[in-house]
Amino acid sequence: MLDTHARHIVQPVINQTAKSFLNLGLTANQVTWIAFMIGISSGIFIYFHFFVISVILLWVSGFLDAVDGSMAREEKKTTAWGTVMDITFDRIVELSVIIGLAIIFPEAQFVLLLLTASIVFSMTVFLTVGALSEKKGIKSFYYQAGLAERTEGFILFSFMILLNDWLIWITLLFFIVEMITGLQRLLEARKILKD
């Protein structure tokens, strides 16, 4: 929701950073890899109980994840491979956080598993609709907005990491939000893909 409706607020900073990186000679794919490495280190820092550092790294990774797309668009070099890397790396970063938390908080493993299942459900609908919408004549990958987008996920992950005394309850809230998002996307898919 925030990615769709509030992106314009931070977009000037993202664009300026993208231009600065391009001036340094970096490519969008290189920044994608940098964002990925920083993002998965978040889960490692959780394991070592450096929770504040973990959250900072998660957000830096998310910011760079937005910058790489702006770099590709600035150079008019958006590619299908870049999209695959972006979506795949995003999920691995999320998994690194979930795994880091599951290792040090075994009492929360069941709800973390539920959260993982809800992310798989929501992303399955998202990716399937994106792929099938092209066959329906929509010219580019169809982006389905929803209650939980990347920013909401990062906010909830941050709460899970920093307020870990409430980990089970925050994770259950995240699970519910993801399930609502998946159902929103499923209902929208029924409308736009209906023959």
Closest CA to 61 of 24, 91, 105: 91
pLDDT < 70 regions, the chain: 1-5, 134-145, 195
Residue 62 makes CB contacts below 8 A (sequence gap 6+) with: 35, 39, 150, 151, 154
Prediction pTM value: 0.89
pLDDT of residue 139: 43
If DSSP states are collapsed to H, E and C, what string results for 149-193? CHHHHHHHHHHHHHCHHHHHHHHHHHHHHHHHHHHHHHHHHHHHC
The Cβ of residue 63 has, within 10 Å, a number of other Cβ atoms equal to: 16
Listed by start position, the domains of the chain span 2-192
Quick: pLDDT tens for 95-109: 999 999 999 999 999
Quick: pLDDT tens for 23-48: 999 999 999 999 999 999 999 999 99
Domain 2-192 indexed as CATH 3.30.9.10: no
